[in-house]
Structure 1
Amino acid sequence: MSTILITGANKGLGHEAARRLLEAGHDVWMGARDAGRGRAAADALGGRFVQIDVTDDASVAAAAETVGTLDVLINNAGIGGARKPLPETTPDDVAQVLETNVLGIVRVTRAFLPLLERSASPVIVNVSSGMGSITVTSDPSRVESTIAGLAYPASKTAVNMMTTQYAKALPQFRVNAVDPGYTGTDFNQHRGTQTVSEGTDAIVAMAMIGPDGPTGTFVDRKGPVPW
């Protein structure tokens, strides 16, 4: 049994990943910014709730103190940002997304590293997106190529690069990025074509790898995703 923290676990992919990992017998901390929603979600599944705002240093530090012991960190919390035409996107629009999707991962990972370093098999899973793949977003056969944006795609490309760098810097860890795929959640007004269970396949699989598992990779439920 592993002790697992999932950020942004009160709904969507984070909630379903928590449900599946709890079902598999793991001890799961469900992190959420909103205490009411987070606690209700954790109570409903039988998980443990911890309040965490990935954009706030004090909140993240307090969460690390509360959790205390950790084997697996799933950096799932993320935002899509302002919905507006690309030419109208402002620096502030981009900064808001990077604060959560990129700096949030740095902030949380840094705070929880001392806990993970005490684990016999530390794992970090960064939830990325096909929108962060330059190859995928340039492929006319992929739906990702039909979407033009600045903040969200750039943030996920940064997540992919950070994943490879953490993997190099932490050779005793298993650090991987996952693409859930186009999954129907609140994030996309449930337009996604995959079920939420399918969308968590790669997250759950990478959360449960052992010390001999891959590191520094980018995968979806079907296998490797091109960078």
Structure 2
Amino acid sequence: MAKIFVKEKDKERVENYLKSVDLDYSLEKDFIENQNMEGFVYVPSINLYVAKEKKLHNKNWFEAHKKLQKEGEKMLTLYEFVEFLKYAKSNNKEIYDEITEVRSPLRAEWLDADFKVKNGVLHINYNHVLDSNGNLIPNDSEALDKETLMKDKNPGISLEDYLESNHTGQGLPNKSVKSGDLYYWFPRSDNNSVARFNALDYGANLSCNWYSSNRFGNLGVRAVRRE
């Protein structure tokens, strides 16, 4: 299905035209329409604007997704998060340190990845959207890359090596990632695990085993807008 991003004022005109052609499509709101981009940084490698700061604290994973969608925004996927951290490390060290630095207080953020078993195979679901009934559904669902690191490392793996070299196309550490100080919790097969990143006084964590229903005051989400 083709996704076509349109401004609200153009929606009726575009839709009328598309009805005249044989095309399986969905109209998506142009995320950047009428939005002030102050407070966002542009990440060229993923063609996205990413918020400098988190918001929607004390929301569970589903609530954060739905609130973002209603505001014309989205949540970072794991791969987008990797690219964002790489960019921030080189271009905005203050943001990078705020996310990754080992210190108090706890800083935590949801990521757009949940893990489900389908036909006996663990899948990663991401790029979630709201359907016409308000249900959260993934636009992308793939079998987990066979090179994904599937054991806990506490600690740890090298954050730098994970970001720069040894991650899969789905944004997870691969089996060749070097050892280091980043705590890593691999994706579970319990059909109730999602991803988040956090840092606090004892270390930084990439957790792919968190319950989607979790919530607390220091856990938020980083809004994303399209180019």
Normalising by the smaller structure, the TM-score range is under 0.3
Q: Which structure is higher in helix share? A: 1
Q: Which structure carries more relative contact order (alpha carbon 8 Å, separation 6+)?
A: 2
From the CA coordinates, give the structure whose radius of gyration is larger.
Answer: 2
